[in-house]
Copies of this chain bind each other. A is one copy, B any other.
């Protein structure tokens, strides 16, 4: 199995109260690159930040990496608009960081990105791929895309209390700035992602289209952001079977309504529970308290672990070890907080 992780940024993330994926605005910009370094190397290599929140909540990249240590799947990272350099290897699709969706045209190169990702996916040698994302602020742009397409406007959050009303106001402004009403972009996914989305969604949608049209099975490894990408692919005419593999934290989040979204979009939903309540550690406790929930392929990785017979006890212990290593390195001054 290959996990394709699409990493990027949107200036939408800088809006107050939108994202928990970083201690401050600057850290947010480094998070996706740090995630890729954790996936590829096991820890940050060039990233000046360690994505572990002040409460001790680690980036979900740690969970995906923990599973990788046991399952050994291939990872292909795609740079779909990183705002800061990363020491991780990425496929360059020529993307720029996405703009704030409250301004017109936040993803002006959406079509080129979509086509580039489609062509990349069409060339993959795999029978099956998992596709994931890392983009702070991405649930708000996902909400933008779902709204523009006329799909169920419900998304999850990396915060314990989903700031949905705030996200909805941002999306309202986004649609206004492009003279769109909800549903106006139905059947026109490129307009939806260009006016109300982010470059990661454009690339993921292109990957889904390119993979399915060449007979590669697609597992979407994530929650509502991946569902929004699936919506783009459905509106682009994809009718192949697609599954959505997420975490129990997203599945149990009533504000996100991921079950209904999956039904609407004809996605086979699988939610995997890592049993974090069985391990008392700041990292696992933070997820139990509703922080982070999903991202960087966490739900898909947990599903791979389950399919491969790797126990969740093993996954949890590896997560705790990786987090302790990250925090020790940070404390030793090798990495800044």
Chain A positions within 8 Å of B, measured between CB atoms, are 40-46, 72, 74, 76-79, 85-92, 119-120, 123-125
Q: Which residues of B contact A45 (CB under 8 A)?
A: 120, 123-125
Are the CB atoms of A76 and B91 closer together than 8 Å?
Answer: no
Q: How far is the CA of A90 from the CA of B90 in the complex (A)?
A: 5
Complex alpha-carbon distance, A87 and B119, angstroms: 10
- Oligomeric state, in copies: 2
Q: When A41-B124, A45-B124 are in contact, do A89 and B87 touch as well, CB less than 8 Å?
A: no
Instruction: Determine whether the beta carbon of B87 is less than 8 Å from that of A90.
Output: no
Residues of B within 8 A of A40 (CB): 74, 76
A85 to B119, CA, bound (A): 13
In whole angstroms, what is the CA distance A311 to B123 when docked?
31
Bound Cα distance A45, B124 (Å): 6
Instruction: Tell me if B91 and A88 are in contact (CB < 8 A).
Output: yes
Rounded to whole angstroms, the CA-CA distance of A92 and B124 in the bound complex is: 22
Looking across the interface, which residue of chain B has its beta carbon closest to that of A78?
Answer: B89
Q: Which 10 A-B residue pairings sit nearest by Cβ, starting from the closest?
A: A89-B89, A45-B123, A89-B91, A89-B90, A77-B89, A41-B125, A87-B120, A42-B125, A46-B123, A76-B89
Partner of A92, one of B72, B76, B85: B85
Report the separation of the CA atoms of residues A92 and B120 in the bound assembly, to the nearest whole angstrom. Answer: 18
For A76, the chain B residues whose CB sits under 8 A away are 40-41, 89
- 11 A-B pairs with CB atoms under 8 Å apart are A44-B123, A45-B124, A46-B119, A46-B120, A72-B72, A78-B89, A79-B92, A87-B123, A88-B89, A89-B90, A89-B91
A92 and B91 within 8 A (CB): no
Complex Cα spacing A92 to B78, Å: 12
Q: Indicate whether A125 sits within 8 Å of B43 (C-beta atoms), given known contacts A85-B92, A120-B87.
A: yes
Q: Which residue of B lies closest to A88 (CB)?
A: B91
Q: Determine the chain B residues whose CB is within 8 A of the CB of A124 once the complex forms.
A: 41, 45
A65 to chain B, nearest CB (A): 12
B contact residues around A91 at 8 Å (CB): 86-90
Q: Counting chain B CB atoms within 10 Å of each CB, which of A41, A90, A91, A120 scores highest?
A: A91
Give the complex CA separation of A43 and B43 in angstroms.
Answer: 29
- Closest residue of chain B to A325, judged by CB? B125
A sample of 8 more A-B contacts (CB under 8 A), given A40-B74, A40-B76, A45-B125, is A43-B125, A44-B123, A45-B120, A45-B123, A46-B123, A85-B92, A87-B123, A89-B89
Q: What are the residues of chain B within 8 A of A86 when measuring CB–CB? A: 91
Closest approach, in angstroms, between the C-beta of A311 and any C-beta of chain B?
A: 22
Q: Complex formed: what's the CA distance from A42 to B72 in Å?
A: 16
In Å, the complex CA distance between A49 and B74 comes to: 24
**Smallest beta-carbon distance A234→chain B, Å:** 26
A47 to chain B: closest residue by CB: B123
- Docked CA distance A55–B88 (Å): 37
Closest beta carbon of chain B to A147's beta carbon, Å: 33
Select from chain B the residue with minimum beta-carbon distance to A119.
Answer: B46
For residue A25, give the distance in angstroms from its CB to the closest CB of chain B: 23
Contacts of A85 in B (CB 8 A): 92
Q: How far is the CA of A41 from the CA of B129 in the complex (A)?
A: 12
Residue of B nearest to A89 (CB): B89
